[in-house]
Structure 1
Amino acid sequence: MITLTLSELARAVGGEVLLAPGDTLDTVVSGAVDTDSRLIGPGSIFVAKPGEQTDGHLFVDAAAAAGAVVAIVEHPVESSVASAASAAAEPRSVLTQIVVRDAVEALADLAREVVARVRSGGDLRIVGITGSNGKTTTKNLLARILEPEGETVSPKASFNNEVGAPLTMLRVTEATRYLVSEFGASAPGEIARLAGLVEPDVGVVLMVGMAHAGGFGGIEATLAAKSELVRALHRGGLAVLNADDARVASMAPIASERDAAVRWFGRGGGVDGRGVDVRADDVEVSASGTTCVVTADGVSATLRLRVLGEHHVMNALAAIATATALGVSLADCIERLEAVEIAERWRMQPLGSERVRIINDAYNASPDSMAAALRTLAQITGPGERTVAVLGAMSELGEYAEDEHDRVGLLAVRLGIQRIVVVGAGARRMFLEAVAQGSWDGEAIYFETADEAYDYLMTELRDGDRVLVKSSNSAGLRFLGDRLGESFS
């Protein structure tokens, strides 16, 4: 984080300062900000956030012991260290506390202030990314392109919510050239709130699909929510839009309201034939990755993407469209993307060996990403090899859950997946649909737990199998994928 005095910090979050001995309002702080006391280091600022499982106020002492110099709290916390010393001396706090009404809102306010200061005094460019699928992969690909150009801050893992996004923003310094923010949401208004903290110079919208549709209340409500990023653009900025998705394409007039230009990416000419600025042709998929010809503003080059899955071509196009708009050459984009082996752990991550290849894609799942992963499995499996899909539940679909799980079971059968292993009660509809479609002679099997599925797979898998493990994070199958990967490494 940038350097602030305690007075400036308190003013940014609208809090009351309770000074520890030795501190004054002019004391300077510049350490990292975190809500997890286990990640606190010397000079850090600890935000004591109440949570569903525990309360950050219980860990103020732990944060202080780890080196925190300030705690942002919702009520004063008397240190147990100070209490123990009070028999012989006056009680005291071991670190300065800033008391606020709401710790999460204070975190957002601090992020807004820090980014605004850096932006006003330097050359910071801010990119925001949203979409029903592909945010984390696109964020990682774009960061890899931009990092050689200058100091780049991007989210760890999927830090894209009301806590993770501000924590990412607070990592900027006066030397930061690019801030890449990922904006996720499970309800209307969340993207507007997060993107509104920084008003991105560039807003990237990947797709509008069924992910989180249960929370939004349907696909049109999802469209409205994803549009919030374009509405939050810095005036005169740039919207990078998927020309192949009609719902994303419909956001172009919103960009005009912000006096923002539109840059299109896609696999074809766009849903209305308008053409695209960055496109991919001659796409070929294999077990080692995807090859295509990328054309950006009339310049063409071959991209050999090692990240598995044809669907990642669109994520690469979005990253290229953004980076070239920021001044990076297409040749540099291609060179840096070709060095990326996996987008993120548990996202189309190759494990195992050539004998039994495991693809662990169980960090997240939606109907769109589930379909893309199954198609990839079918595409990369060659003659004499066998397709095995280990599938778990897709979360946050609400009233659409049963129908969407049915569709996945149907698709797996139509793609000719030879073994369909369904795990967990939330995914049982996939199994029932697969059986209804003809996979009743051992091709489809159901297990209540991942341990049961593991025991079965250890006896069932054989040389030449290509195994996809796919589910939402909450289903926990990513750990099953790791176990299988280790067993067949």
Structure 2
Amino acid sequence: MIRMTLAEVATAVSGTLEPFGADAPTTVVEGAVDTDSRMIAPGDIFVAKPGETTDGHLFVPGVAEAGASLAIVEHRVDAAITQIVVPDVIAALADLAREVVARVRAGGNLTVVGITGSNGKTTTKNLLERILQDEGETVAPRASFNNEVGAPLTMLRVTPETRYLVCEFGAAGPGQIARLAGLVTPDIGVVLMVGLAHAGGFGGVEATLKAKTELVEAIRPGGIAVLNADDARVVTMAAVAESRGVSVRWFGRGSAAEMRAEDVEVTASGTTCTIVVGEKRMPLRLRVLGEHHVMNALAALTAAREIGVPLADAIARLETVEIAERWRMQPLGSDRVRIINDAYNASPDSMAAALRTLAQIVEPGQRKVAVLGAMSELGEYAGEEHDRVGLLAVRLRIERIVVVGPDARRLFISAIGEGSWDGEAVFFATADEAYDYLLGELRDGDRVLVKSSNSAGLRHLGDRLGESFS
């Protein structure tokens, strides 16, 4: 965090300062801010967040011993450390992030980019971070730090030297993106797509559209909305942007896009395409696996172009990225048996994209094997969407469909009903059972997709398979 006095921090979070030892209101703090006591180093600031299984207040004495300079708490803790007492530590975390970003921005050198969408946020964030880090100090979320805790923690990492802050905004319900994006009022907002991911929490796809539009509504007047020209729901956000004095830039694969991709080809080693901007045509060779990542690359390139990065430089930097993120279309195993671990999250759109990628990368003589778990947070849409995935897997001629977990059983039944009944589709209640089956079933030339939502836990199954066939 930037240098601030204890009094300034207390004012920012509307808290009561209780100094300890030699500390006074004028004492300066500038350590990292975290809610995880294990990450606290000397001089850091600990936010004692209550959790579902434990309470951060229990760890205040431990962080004091570790040398933390300050604890933000909801009640005074008997520990040898200065504390600021607030009514709600999560609200305080947001307030502190707002203040820190505002102070850095006042220096006139910070550009803030916000990214949202039902799928692709983390990949797009990573791609844009790779482009911008060669331009100047860039702060972006670790992993998928995109919620009410992770987003402010990312914002608090900015320094006076930071030129670019890339924020990823996720949400499980209405109003969350508005609150998070409102902390920083982005200069550029990127909306990737509107789909059924988390539809159960939002109450349907139209409510999801409204929630994703919250990012466009948070862009500062005079800013830029980077929108997916191929998504009809995202297209409707242009009117919202323009009504607020926000310019619109389009990316996509159709002719309406200002930054578009043509001649897309997918192989086991990556994806190639031609980037077209006006009369300019440039090749892009993404090492990241999957045709759907072309759209993420287009979004990152469009945002970077608006920032002022030359297209050739941006493309060259994208071509150095090997994987989008751990557990996202991550190649494991070996050329003999290739495992594609994409089990960090799943929605109907991302599940379909991953299955199509599997179908595209096999060569003659190789088998397609899909190890599939449940898609979470779909609410009333869960049954029919698992049905659709089962049907798609069969129609893509996936030779082995391995369904794991009771919540995914309907996917298995759907595949059986579509004709995958002669041993092509199998069901296992646990990942361990599936692992034992796959050890005996997989053979040279197999290409194996492991795909599920995070809650299904198949990412660890993918890792085990990767190690076994490395």
Give yes or no for TM over 0.5: yes
Could you tell me how far apart the structure 2 residues matched to 1:476 and 1:393 are? 10
Q: Partner of 1:4 in structure 2?
A: 4
Please say if 1:44 is aligned against 2:44: yes
1:300, distance to aligned residue in structure 2 (A): 1.5
1:257, distance to aligned residue in structure 2 (A): 2.0
What is the TM-score when the length of structure 2 is the normalising length?
1.00
2:151 to 154, 161, 165: 165
Q: Show CA shifts across 1:54-90 (max 9, x none).
A: 10000001111222110000000012xxxxxxxxxxx
**Count of matched residue pairs:** 470
Could you tell me how far apart the structure 1 residues matched to 2:243 and 2:126 are? 29
Please say if 1:105 is aligned against 2:91: yes
Q: Partner of 2:362 in structure 1?
A: 381
Please say if 1:61 is aligned against 2:47: no
Could you tell me how far apart the structure 1 residues matched to 2:75 and 2:279 are? 59
Q: Partner of 1:96 in structure 2?
A: 82
Q: Partner of 2:402 in structure 1?
A: 421
1:138 to 109, 112, 124: 124
Q: Partner of 1:120 in structure 2?
A: 106
- Amino acid corresponding to residue 454 of structure 1 in structure 2: Y
1:296, distance to aligned residue in structure 2 (A): 2.5
Please say if 1:473 is aligned against 2:448: no
What is the SS of the residue equivalent to 1:331?
helix
Please say if 1:397 is aligned against 2:378: yes
Could you tell me how far apart the structure 2 residues matched to 1:40 and 1:432 are? 48
1:152, distance to aligned residue in structure 2 (A): 0.1
1:266 to 231, 249, 252: 252
Q: Partner of 1:337 in structure 2?
A: 318
Q: Partner of 2:196 in structure 1?
A: 210
Question: What's the % identity of the aligned pairs?
Answer: 74
Q: Partner of 2:72 in structure 1?
A: 72
Q: Which runs of 5+ in 1 are unaligned?
A: 80-93, 270-274
Q: Show CA shifts across 1:81-108 (max 9, x none).
A: xxxxxxxxxxxxx110000000000000
1:487, distance to aligned residue in structure 2 (A): 0.3
- Amino acid corresponding to residue 218 of structure 2 in structure 1: A
What is the SS of the residue equivalent to 1:421?
strand
Could you tell me how far apart the structure 2 residues matched to 1:65 and 1:359 are? 43
What is the TM-score when the length of structure 1 is the normalising length?
0.96
Could you tell me how far apart the structure 2 residues matched to 1:258 and 1:447 are? 52
Please say if 1:484 is aligned against 2:456: no
1:219 to 192, 201, 205: 205
Q: Partner of 1:82 in structure 2?
A: none
Mapping of residues 277-316 of structure 1, within 5 Å: 277-316=258-297
- Amino acid corresponding to residue 27 of structure 1 in structure 2: T
Could you tell me how far apart the structure 1 residues matched to 2:313 and 2:66 are? 41
Mapping of residues 434-445 of structure 1, within 5 Å: 434-445=415-426
Could you tell me how far apart the structure 2 residues matched to 1:336 and 1:428 are? 42
What is the SS of the residue equivalent to 1:149?
coil
Q: Partner of 2:22 in structure 1?
A: 22
- Amino acid corresponding to residue 34 of structure 2 in structure 1: D
1:297, distance to aligned residue in structure 2 (A): 4.1
Could you tell me how far apart the structure 1 residues matched to 2:91 and 2:277 are? 41
Could you tell me how far apart the structure 1 residues matched to 2:210 and 2:278 are? 30
- After superposing on structure 2, the runs of 4+ consecutive aligned residues of structure 1 that deviate more than 4 Å are none
Could you tell me how far apart the structure 1 residues matched to 2:145 and 2:135 are? 23
Q: Partner of 2:438 in structure 1?
A: 457
Q: Contact between 1:237 and 1:258, CA under 8 Å: does it hold in 2?
A: no
What is the SS of the residue equivalent to 2:308?
coil
Could you tell me how far apart the structure 1 residues matched to 2:266 and 2:289 are? 8
Could you tell me how far apart the structure 1 residues matched to 2:209 and 2:153 are? 26
Q: Contact between 1:296 and 1:330, CA under 8 Å: does it hold in 2?
A: no
Could you tell me how far apart the structure 2 residues matched to 1:14 and 1:212 are? 33
Could you tell me how far apart the structure 2 residues matched to 1:368 and 1:219 are? 13
What is the SS of the residue equivalent to 1:148?
coil
Q: Show CA shifts across 1:243-292 (max 9, x none).
A: 000000100011012201000000012xxxxx221000000110000000
Q: Partner of 1:257 in structure 2?
A: 243
Q: Show CA shifts across 1:284-342 (max 9, x none).
A: 11000000000124322100000000000000000000001100011001110000000
Mapping of residues 216-255 of structure 1, within 5 Å: 216-255=202-241
Could you tell me how far apart the structure 2 residues matched to 1:344 and 1:426 are? 26
What is the SS of the residue equivalent to 2:46?
strand
Could you tell me how far apart the structure 1 residues matched to 2:29 and 2:247 are? 39
Could you tell me how far apart the structure 2 residues matched to 1:439 and 1:336 are? 43
Could you tell me how far apart the structure 1 residues matched to 2:155 and 2:11 are? 18
Please say if 1:448 is aligned against 2:439: no
Q: Partner of 1:318 in structure 2?
A: 299
Please say if 1:155 is aligned against 2:141: yes
Could you tell me how far apart the structure 1 residues matched to 2:212 and 2:362 are? 35
What is the SS of the residue equivalent to 1:7?
helix
Q: Contact between 1:208 and 1:245, CA under 8 Å: does it hold in 2?
A: yes
Greater shift, 344-353 or 116-125, is seen at 116-125
Q: Partner of 2:392 in structure 1?
A: 411
What is the SS of the residue equivalent to 1:292?
strand
Q: Partner of 1:87 in structure 2?
A: none
Q: Contact between 1:122 and 1:174, CA under 8 Å: does it hold in 2?
A: no
Could you tell me how far apart the structure 2 residues matched to 1:343 and 1:211 are? 19
Q: Contact between 1:385 and 1:465, CA under 8 Å: does it hold in 2?
A: yes
Could you tell me how far apart the structure 2 residues matched to 1:406 and 1:276 are? 33
Could you tell me how far apart the structure 2 residues matched to 1:191 and 1:12 are? 21
Could you tell me how far apart the structure 2 residues matched to 1:316 and 1:10 are? 41
